[in-house]
Amino acid sequence: MSGPTMTQQTSTGEITRPNWPVLALAFIAVVLDGYDTIALGLSVPALSKDWDVSASHFTPALSLTSLGVALGYIAVGRLTARFGCRHVILAAVVAFTIGSLLTAWAGSIIELSALRFITGFGLGAVMPAAVAQATALNPTRYRQSIAVFVTMGISLGALIAGLAGSQIVSAFGWEWVFILGAMASAVLLPFLWRWLPDERTITGVVASSPRAKHDASVARLFEPQVRSRTILLWAFAFLVFSVFYIFSSWLPTLLTSYGFTTGLAPLGSAALGIGSIIGAGVLMVGALRFRMTSVLAGTTAVAIVFLVLSAFLGADKALLLVVFAGVGLGLQAGMIGQAAVSVSLYPQATAATGVGWTSSMGRLGSVVGPIVGGALIGLGVATSTIVLLACIPVAVALILILVLGQLKSGDVEGSAVN
């Protein structure tokens, strides 16, 4: 079954009206992706206490989650070229539903790490496929805004996990963070099956054709028109993701040094999520008047300011949460914005590959981030020092996005390989 086709087109095949069911389903799938991605990070304090091991022992599980996601990002271009975005999204949601459910019954760090790696692959395939599906079945003029909107689901999922996580962990235990996430994605599956169309029947793309394979190739991202921008964008994504995932993975643990209980520590993830939602809103509004690279330069600078502030705050819990919301605003805006730049930089047929590979570079950074954070925590480095050290890669990311915005060989947001 390919699902319904409710997209209106002109006689030339141009899509003229938004496809709201596709937008809603793509967004919800990414929300669940965002929830499950940080589920382990906010569960670490309770897991550490329950299993009677140091929090730093969970570094392999956190890093393998990100590695699985990175591999999912890398594979998604080829998968969507062969099977279509609809089938990739369905299979990916099934994968992380099962993986999340089994995580609740993990009995050792080795089991936990293996399950999170498998789950991560499913999580990684969802976002680029959802962005490609939503942009393919909606008017071209909305591509950048749609990419921001769909990718914003990651932020909302993190927010939901952070807000609900403290209540779930306190009332039922860490296992239910994963069980409830699996239940939610299981509920979504029949809606995806019924209402998510096969975009190839609308756009006319032939599965596994030589052209489709060429467009899905990573080599497409290194053609002369976009090679230097691809490198700059990948490096920017790597740095922003690495710092964000230091905090998304370890913030609940770091906050315990400020007197937060294990039940309240997940509120740090909620603060990051709230800031992330605001950051996405800033991107959507800013993109209407400014180049996306200029907006990203501003939000990256904001992240640096709030990181410095957080390093010098005392134990005022409410103020700390506000400041880390500002950190989330700046960093998550960069994570969302890189997908929007990818969508507008490459042609539609290359969208999943462009978003996937750029995000995979970010996810490779997110593999490094938790490892570095775990090592610093294991060495007993003060939280304020960890935060100040995090300012260095963010400052480099700011320089990279400024350079990307100053390239003179055409507009980054407006050009695409033809």
pLDDT tens, position by position, 125-140: 898 899 889 988 888 7
Give the whole-angstrom CA distance, residue 285 versus residue 167: 33
Which of the pair, 26 or 372, is modelled with greater confidence?
26
**Neighbour tally for 108: CB within 10 Å:** 9
For position 135, what pLDDT does the model report?
85
For position 207, what pLDDT does the model report?
53
For position 99, what pLDDT does the model report?
93
- Token digits for 277? 């939602």
Query: Across 9-18, 96-105, 360-369, which has the greatest mean pLDDT?
Result: 96-105
* Mean predicted confidence (pLDDT) in 41-60: 86
pLDDT-derived band of residue 417, with 50, 70 and 90 as boundaries?
A: very low
For position 87, what pLDDT does the model report?
92
Buried b (16+ CB within 10 A) or exposed e, 80-104: bbebbbbbbbbebbebbbbbbbbbb
For position 263, what pLDDT does the model report?
67
Contacts of 126 (CB under 8 A, 6+ apart): 29, 30, 33, 72, 89, 92, 93, 96
Q: Which of 364, 359, 367, 360 is nearest to 339 (CA)?
A: 359
For position 328, what pLDDT does the model report?
85
- Token digits for 291? 């180049």
* Mean predicted confidence (pLDDT) in 292-309: 91
Position 158, amino acid: A
Question: What are the tens digits of pLDDT across the range 231-255?
Answer: 999 999 999 988 887 877 777 777 7
Task: Quote the DSSP letter at residue 57.
Answer: G
Question: What are the tens digits of pLDDT across the range 389-405?
Answer: 889 999 999 999 999 88
Question: What are the tens digits of pLDDT across the range 17-44?
Answer: 888 899 999 999 999 988 988 788 878 8
Give the whole-angstrom CA distance, residue 409 versus residue 411: 7
Give the whole-angstrom CA distance, residue 311 versus residue 313: 6
* Mean predicted confidence (pLDDT) in 299-322: 82
pTM: 0.75
Summary mean pLDDT of the chain: 82
φ/ψ of residue 161, rounded to 5: -60, -45
Task: Quote the DSSP letter at residue 9.
Answer: B
pLDDT above 60 for 264: yes
